[in-house]
Amino acid sequence: MFRRIGTAGLLVLALTACGGGGGAPASAAPTGATPEGTKDTSSASTTPQSPPQAGADPVLRAVERLTLEEKVGQLFMPVLYGTAADTVSGENQARYGAQTPAKVIARFHLGGVILFPANVKSTAQVVKLTNGLQEASKKVPLLVGTDQENGLVSRMSALMTDFPGAAEIGATKDPAMSRAVARATGEELRVLGVNLDFAPVADVNVNPRNPVIGRRAYGNDPTAVAKMVAAAVKGFGDAKVAATAKHFPGHGDTSVDSHTGLPVIKHTRAQWERIDAPPFKAAIGAGVDAVMSAHIVFPKLDPSGDPATLSKPILTGLLRQKLGFKGVISTDALNMEGVRKKYGDGEVAVRAVLAGADLLLMPYDLGKAYQAVLGAVKSGRISEDRLDQSVTRLLRLKQKRGLLTEAPVASAEEAAGVLRSPEHRRLAAKVRAAG
């Protein structure tokens, strides 16, 4: 079932979730701060482009109908507090200046929301929550995301089938298993009202001391991992749920956790091509909807010392231009210390957009980040064309997944027949036996 969105008889639209371990941001009252830091003229925008002509293209028409404030809002995907859209929460008030999830959505014109275990109590409750969140977004349907990798990172595990994680699936050496698990995972997410998963992990776990990836990866062989990642992307597509390959340009060879520090990857460009790049190339070839950046420094790809999330040479130069990715680039959670060490929280959001990111996930201070990006567009530091590029990509994702003109309406009755179904439990057992 879908809820049709319209404004003055014209359909309009658009957007969301995390790098695996990013938790809720620490308390910080929203502010109206303007962009922080010194203007960066070295990476001021992506290559200038002529504004697209809307014509009969429903996505471009939708972009035209959004105000500047609404366009900026589409870039953001925070975690909201409460188990219903109308839950009154001191956390929401303290962090976002609005008491309920519905009011936060309205205040910031959000394009998406990410769900965490604190948002999950029961099937009927989550269905009511996601339907309520969509209802609160009057003009633009939401991307509702979560991190359901299965295994170690499973935000919806209280309700969903206990599928094996990536390492167990990789041990089967059978990409068909990867596709089947992704499809089943996507089916269970979709009936709960979740339409974007921050999975699969495309990192190649070549460092046994890696504290953040480990068994979240399909393995340590780039070719084998690439096959599993491509299959998972296709499986999510089978379920009509958006997939996200993460963490670009590759988080597999680090001994530092980017949630608490800033890892440095010392691979040469040739090593990156051989070890880290193949799974991302495979994901793009399989039609992945989004790619998530990593909060890692990769000196041989960008000597600036900035993490990949803030690196134009990596996000625009490598991912967009070299690998040809045309979909949504998402940041990893912007509340993680790996991306907050060098710049303020408003400046981080601005620099992520300048680097090439489209979706700004979980900023530490949403109010400050929103005002910083809005101010950067008004000042010309971020061109309106650059902003429109991101909004257009976000709406293209929605169009691809059938969400452009209608908001999904989940059904608790349907969910009860899909979640932890006998078929899915048999699949989980089959994978474990094969591995």
The CA-based angle 288-328-346, given to 5 degrees, is 145
For residue 279, the tally of other CB atoms under 10 A from its CB is 29
Cβ proximity of 42 and 60 under 8 Å: no
Calculated CA dihedral for residues 119, 122, 128, 132, nearest 10 degrees? 0
The one-letter code for the residue type at 39 is: K
Between CA 107 and CA 73 the distance in angstroms is 9
Catalytic residue selected from 203, 276, 332, 365: 332
- β-bridge mates for residue 395, sequence order: none
Strands 112-115 and 143-146: parallel
The one-letter code for the residue type at 324 is: G
Burial 220-253 (b: 16+ CB within 10 A, else e): bbbebbbbbbbbbbbbbbebbbbbbbbbbbbbbb
* 251 is annotated as an active-site residue: no
* 109 is annotated as an active-site residue: no
Catalytic residue selected from 109, 247, 251, 259: 259
Give the single-character DSSP code of 359: B
Mind telling me the catalytic residues? 259, 332
